[in-house]
Amino acid sequence: MPSEFDIIRRYFTRPVKRALLGVGDDCALIAAEAGMVFAVSTDMLVEGRHFHVGADPDKLGHKALAVNLSDLAAMGAAPRYATLALALPEADEAWLGRFSQGLLRLADAFGVELIGGDTTRGPRNISITVMGTVPPELALRRDGARAGDELWLSGASGDAALALAHLDGRIRLAGAALAHCLARLHTPVPCVALGLALRGIATSAIDISDGVVADVGHIAERSGVAIELRYAALPRSRALQACADARLAAECLLAGGDDYELAFTASPDARPRVESLAAELGLTLTRIGSVGAGEPGLVSVYDASGAPMQIARKGFDHFGS
Q: Which of residues 99-128 bind a second copy (CB under 8 A)?
A: 115-123, 125, 127
Q: Report the distance separating Cα 202 and Cα 291, nearest Å.
A: 13
Q: Report the distance separating Cα 234 and Cα 287, nearest Å.
A: 8
Residue 4 interacts with a second copy (CB under 8 A): yes or no:
yes
Residue 52 interacts with a second copy (CB under 8 A): yes or no:
no
Q: Report the distance separating Cα 110 and Cα 128, nearest Å.
A: 15
Residue 27 interacts with a second copy (CB under 8 A): yes or no:
yes
Distance in angstroms between the alpha carbons of the first and the last residue of the chain: 40
In whole angstroms, how close is the CB of 149 to a second copy at the nearest point?
17
User: 3-state class of 78 per DSSP?
Assistant: strand
Stretch that binds a second copy, among 21-29, 153-161, 162-170, 249-257 (CB under 8 A): 21-29
**What part of residues 206-225 is at the interface with a second copy (CB under 8 A)?**
206-207, 222
Rg (CA), the chain: 20
**Which of residues 15, 53, 54, 90 is near a second copy by CB under 8 A?**
90
**Which of residues 16, 55, 56, 85 is near a second copy by CB under 8 A?**
85
123: Cβ contacts below 8 Å, ≥ 6 apart: 46, 47, 87, 89
**Which of residues 13, 14, 46, 294 is near a second copy by CB under 8 A?**
46
Which strands form 285-292's sheet, in the order they lie side by side? 204-207, 262-266, 150-154, 285-292, 226-230, 299-302
**What part of residues 268-287 is at the interface with a second copy (CB under 8 A)?**
none
**What part of residues 123-162 is at the interface with a second copy (CB under 8 A)?**
123, 125, 127, 129, 131-132, 134, 136, 139-143
Of 155, 152, 309, the closest CA to residue 239 belongs to: 155
Query: Parallel, antiparallel, or unpaired: how do β-strands 150-154 and 285-292 relate?
Result: antiparallel
Stretch that binds a second copy, among 34-42, 99-107, 160-168, 303-311 (CB under 8 A): 34-42
In whole angstroms, how close is the CB of 38 to a second copy at the nearest point?
5
Stretch that binds a second copy, among 19-27, 160-168, 230-238, 296-304 (CB under 8 A): 19-27
Q: Closer to a second copy at the Cβ: 74 or 225?
A: 74
Q: Closer to a second copy at the Cβ: 28 or 229?
A: 28
CA distances from 258 to 50, 128, 132 (A): 10, 17, 21
